[in-house]
Structure formats: structure tokens, C-alpha cells
Amino acid sequence: GQQLNQSPQSMFIQEGEDVSMNCTSSSIFNTWLWYKQEPGEGPVLLIALYKAGELTSNGRLTAQFGITRKDSFLNISASIPSDVGIYFCAGQKETSGSRLTFGEGTQLTVNP
């Protein structure tokens, strides 16, 4: 079953606001990834984190790999309507060649 606790479950924000979501785990992961999923599509990779303490940005997105290797957060700055979707965190025990364990997702709604 699921090992990752993702919060919040949903967010309703105004365009231009910043957003923060996070994931925690009871076990250590060596890789943390953040995906975005839109209706009828598969998850699309946003950011991949491979080192404890790593802080990585991708445009308006910033994610960090917690130093305990049991948590990660994702921030979205200056949100726009096309940010709408479900954001998933995922942990992986190895850098490649092993399963992903997913959080339950954060449903983001951005009001124009």
C-alpha cells in the first residue's frame, strides 16, 4: 500500500498566488520526483531530486529533497490557470530500475 503522505489533498487559489505542497514518508527514499497529471493523460515529470538537501528549480517550480530523505516539498510561484491539475510526489529506493511509490496527489484549482 501507499507509504507517502501527501498534503494538502486539494487547494483552491487565486491566479498569482504561490502554492506549497509536501510529502512525508516513514521510510527513506534515495530519489524524490514530482509529477503533474491532467485529465485523460499520464503523469508528466516536473522535477527529479537525487541528493538529500538538494533544491532544484524548473521555471516557477521549486522542489527540495529533505535532509532526512523522508520528505520533499514542491512550491509553485505566481500561479497561472494552466497550473491546474493533480500533483503527485513519488519516491524511489534506487536512482533507476525500481518501483515508484506515489502519494495520493494534490488537486490544484486556480481561479483566474
Among 11, 19, 48, 63, the residue binding another protein under the rule CB under 8 A is 48
Among 11, 25, 29, 31, the residue binding another protein under the rule CB under 8 A is 31
Among 12, 40, 82, 112, the residue binding another protein under the rule CB under 8 A is 40
The answer to whether residues 72 and 34 touch, using CB atoms and an 8 Å cutoff, is yes
If binding is defined by CB under 8 A, does position 95 make contact with another protein?
yes
If binding is defined by CB under 8 A, does position 45 make contact with another protein?
yes
Of the candidates 79, 91, 78, the residue with the CA atom closest to the CA atom of residue 2:
91
Residue 2 or 109 having the CB closest to another protein: 2
Q: What angle do CA 36, 62, 100 make, to 5 degrees?
A: 45
Give the CA dihedral 12, 18, 19, 20, nearest 10 degrees: -150
- Coil, strand, or helix at residue 82? helix
Give the binding-site size for another protein (rule: CB under 8 A): 27
Among 88, 91, 108, 110, the residue binding another protein under the rule CB under 8 A is 88
If binding is defined by CB under 8 A, does position 84 make contact with another protein?
no
